[in-house]
C-alpha cells in the first residue's frame, strides 16, 4: 500500500493538518487532478493523506471561503467551476501585492540581502531538482517580501501565500527557465534600486505564471466537460 502523503505527521496539531490538507487539495486543483465541477471524495482523500476526516472537512471549509470549493446541500463538496480568468486573477492579485513589496524592498535591501538573493538565484540555476527549485523560489520571494519592511504587506502576503498551490515547478516543468530569467530581471532591478522596475518585474512574473497555469490546465482538459 502506498505511503500516505502525510505519513509520520499524525501527531501534528489539528490546525497544521487542516492547512496541509487544504494545500494538497489546492495542489490537485491547480495540477488538474481535481477538475472544475468535480465532487471531492472526502473519505478517499482522508485515507490517501493518512489523516482523519475532520481535518479534510475543515480544509474544505477553508477552501470554500477562498472560492475554490463549494458545498451543495445534501450532495457534498465540489471544485468550484473556475474560469480561466479566475485562475488569472488568483495569481495576479498575489502579484500586485508582491510588486508593492518589491517596490519597497528596492529601497530597503542591504548589500548583504542583495547578495543572499543573488546566491539563491545562482542555486536555482545550478540544476537542482523541482522540489528544491520550489523551496529556493519560496525563499527568494520571502526575502524580497520581508525586505519591504512593511508589516501590513507581509501580513497580506502571508494570507495570500496560503491560497497559492505549491508544486508549481513539478507541474510546470518548462517554467524553470522562464522563472530563472524573471528572477534575474527582478534582482537586477533591486540591485539598481529601481523601485518601479522591481514592482513591474514582479507583477509580470506572476502574470506570466498565471498564463502558464491556464495553459497547463487547458492541456489537461480541465475545462473539457
Task: Write out the H or E segment, with its range, that includes residue 163.
Answer: none
Q: How is the chain split among helix, strand and coil, in percent rounded to 5?
A: 70, 5, 30
Dihedral angle, C-alpha 183, 86, 74, 31, nearest 10 °:
-40
pLDDT at 61 over 90: yes
Q: In this structure, what C-alpha cell is assigned to residue 184?
A: 534575474
| Confidence tier at 104 by pLDDT (50, 70, 90) | very high
Among residues 29, 55, 100, 84, which one has the least CA distance to residue 223?
Answer: 84
Cell numbers for 216, please give them: 497547463
| Residue 2: predicted pLDDT | 35
Structure confidence at residue 6 (pLDDT): 40
Who wins on pLDDT, 66 or 100? 100
Mean pLDDT for 7-31 is: 71
Put simply, whether the predicted model's pTM sits higher than 0.85 gets the answer no
Identify the pLDDT of residue 7.
Answer: 37
User: Quick one: CATH architecture of 84-219?
Assistant: Up-down Bundle (1.20)
pLDDT score, position 156: 93
Helix (H) or strand (E) holding 70: strand 69-72
- Window from 3-7, 20-24, 137-141, 201-205 with minimum mean pLDDT: 3-7
Q: Which residues pair with 39 in a beta bridge?
A: 78
pLDDT score recorded for residue 66:
85
**Statement: residue 124 has pLDDT above 70:** yes
Percent of the chain with pLDDT over 70: 88
Ordered by start, the domain boundaries in the chain are 14-79, 84-219
Query: Where does 14-79 sit in CATH, by number?
Result: 1.10.10.10
Domains 14-79 and 84-219 share a fold: no
Phi, psi of 152 (to 5 degrees): -70, -45
Mean pLDDT for the stretch of residues 99-103: 97
What pLDDT is recorded for position 13? 52
pLDDT single digits (tens) 26-54: 888 877 788 888 999 999 999 999 999 99
pLDDT at 169 over 60: no
Amino acid at each position: 500500500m502506498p505511503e500516505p502523503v502525510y505519513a509520520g505527521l499524525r501527531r501534528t496539531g489539528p490546525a497544521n493538518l487542516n492547512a496541509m490538507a487544504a494545500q494538497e487539495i489546492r495542489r490537485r486543483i491547480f495540477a488538474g487532478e481535481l477538475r472544475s465541477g468535480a465532487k471531492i471524495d472526502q473519505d478517499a482523500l482522508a485515507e490517501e493523506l493518512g489523516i482523519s476526516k475532520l481535518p479534510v472537512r475543515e480544509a474544505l471549509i477553508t477552501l470554500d471561503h477562498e472560492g475554490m470549493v463549494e458545498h451543495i446541500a445534501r450532495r457534498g463538496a465540489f471544485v468550484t467551476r473556475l474560469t480561466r480568468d479566475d485562475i488569472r486573477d488568483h495569481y495576479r492579485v498575489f502579484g500586485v501585492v508582491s510588486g508593492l513589496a518589491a517596490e519597497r524592498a528596492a529601497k530597503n535591501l542591504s548589500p548583504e540581502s542583495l547578495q543572499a538573493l543573488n546566491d539563491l538565484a545562482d542555486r536555482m540555476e545550478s540544476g537542482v531538482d523541482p522540489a528544491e527549485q520550489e523551496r529556493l523560489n519560496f525563499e527568494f520571494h520571502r526575502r524580497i517580501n520581508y525586505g519591504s519592511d512593511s508589516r501590513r504587506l507581509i501580513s497580506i502576503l502571508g494570507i495570500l501565500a496560503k491560497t497559492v498551490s505549491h508544486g508549481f515547478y513539478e507541474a510546470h516543468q518548462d517554467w524553470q527557465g522562464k522563472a530563472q530569467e524573471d528572477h534575474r530581471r527582478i534582482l537586477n532591478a533591486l540591485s539598481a534600486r529601481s523601485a518601479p522596475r522591481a514592482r513591474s518585474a514582479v507583477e509580470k512574473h506572476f502574470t506570466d505564471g498565471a498564463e502558464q497555469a491556464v495553459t497547463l490546465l487547458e492541456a489537461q482538459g480541465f475545462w473539457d466537460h
